[in-house]
Structure 1
């Protein structure tokens, strides 16, 4: 572990673990404030690996995006010969994946998540950042239950009107143009956010299958349906928004800013985010 990190922070218990490292709780030696530190052992990453590129990319992009109340913030980066450490905001409340695994959200609850999520996405897009891996696991909450968009390891910075290539994302949430091998833009994030909205309201994915191949085939067909057993009490307004976010033709799909301006999103925003 970096000597500089140990000088500036007291690193405590592990609170998470990934393929290449751990996330621990830490405290500032100066203020005593709580943070999280993501520590990656560099020997586990090949020098020319995609994972190594993603890790360094993540730190840079998080610094570009700061500060925003709904984007997780990186405070310090430490690197030595063996380790790379990112000191980030501590988000120790259950993430969105945990919350949607427990129950279905009503429309007000879903909106209370969608508004800050789309504000975070729109902020990214204004700065030329495309997340490319939006899913409930990457929607975190701090101790005050404020939403924080996280995990920018797959993100890319683009210039205006520049297109991206490469199959990146997660089954269920990846946009059809990504799977089709076409060039794509920031609207892949809007598609993924639309899938998240559908899942919050129903507890199921709009495009599903029994294997990754079947899921991808369903996503490519993009045959959006609203089964009565899930949508019997869902308003026409949210169905309209879902159609516009989960539009197979990306040129007709809403932008993040347009989603924020949709009538359903502009309704009562006073509901608190469900725990």
Structure 2
């Protein structure tokens, strides 16, 4: 671990662990504040793609900070063996933890979705595509504001109209064009947001299977359904937004900015399509 980090922050208990590193609570004595410190062991990164992600994440987070719905990066420390990023400390639960407790009301789901889309729209305006939007990567601050985290899979696509290829993401949330190996753009994030909205309202994912391959097959079919027993009380406006976000035709899929202007979002989950 970097000596400069130890000189500036007092490391406390571990609060999370990922594939390549750990997240600890840390304390800055001069500021008298607690932060989160994500430390990655560079020696464990044998894959070139993983190394590129390690290099990209602090650069992308620096570009994006600050935004009210994106975890803020404050400091980066690096030596030959490790890289540490000091970020704002969020609550010890994610959107996933909230979802497994119960389905959300449309009003509550719309407020969280608006915050998520605000963050994603901001990313896209700066040419950043997150590529791994899922409930586990959505945190909350002490005032219950949603915060997008984990930009390890993110890429920067300048000009806004460039495309990227390569399978990146998590099975339930990945867009079909990614799985098909086609070039894709920032609308892959909108598909993922749509899947999250579906899960918030239904308590189950729109595409599922007993294995990863079965989930992928369901995503590729993209047969979006609204089972009556689950969606009986869900408004037509919410279903309209879901159809336009979880849309296999990328040219017809809404952008994050367009989704923010949908009546269901503007009216906080209480509107109806006339």
TM range (shorter): over 0.9
- Further displaced range: 230-239 or 142-151: 142-151
d(CA) in 2 for partners of 1:266, 1:93: 30
Instruction: Work out the number of aligned pairs and report it.
Output: 269
**1:134: which partner in 2?**
133
Alignment of 1:199-238 (within 5 A): 199-238=199-238
- Further displaced range: 37-46 or 191-200: 37-46
Decide whether the 8 Å contact of 2:111 with 2:268 is kept in 1. Answer: no
Shift of 1:80: 1.3
Shift of 1:269: 7.7
SS of alignment partner, residue 102 of structure 1: coil
User: Which segments of 5 or more consecutive residues in structure 2 lack a partner in the other structure?
Assistant: none
- Further displaced range: 188-197 or 90-99: 90-99
Shift of 1:20: 1.6
- Further displaced range: 187-196 or 80-89: 80-89
Q: Deviations over 1:148-181 (max 9, x none)?
A: 1011111100022111111111011000111111
**2:6: which partner in 1?**
6
Alignment of 1:65-76 (within 5 A): 65-76=64-75
Q: Deviations over 1:69-110 (max 9, x none)?
A: 001111000011222100011112410011101111010110
SS of alignment partner, residue 84 of structure 1: strand
In structure 2, the CA distance between the partners of 1:185 and 1:2, relative to structure 1 (3 Å rule), is same
d(CA) in 1 for partners of 2:31, 2:269: 35
d(CA) in 1 for partners of 2:176, 2:41: 35
d(CA) in 2 for partners of 1:61, 1:188: 18
Where has structure 1 moved over 6 Å in runs of 4 or more? none
RMSD (Å) for aligned C-alpha atoms:
1.2
**1:149: which partner in 2?**
148
SS of alignment partner, residue 100 of structure 2: helix
- Further displaced range: 120-129 or 208-217: 208-217
Q: Give the TM-score normalised by structure 2.
A: 0.96
Decide whether the 8 Å contact of 1:93 with 1:145 is kept in 2. Answer: no
d(CA) in 2 for partners of 1:178, 1:44: 27
SS of alignment partner, residue 208 of structure 1: coil
Shift of 1:30: 1.2
Alignment of 1:69-148 (within 5 A): 69-148=68-147
User: Which segments of 5 or more consecutive residues in structure 1 lack a partner in the other structure?
Assistant: 271-275
Decide whether the 8 Å contact of 2:238 with 2:269 is kept in 1. Answer: no
Shift of 1:52: 1.9
Decide whether the 8 Å contact of 2:109 with 2:269 is kept in 1. Answer: no
**2:242: which partner in 1?**
242
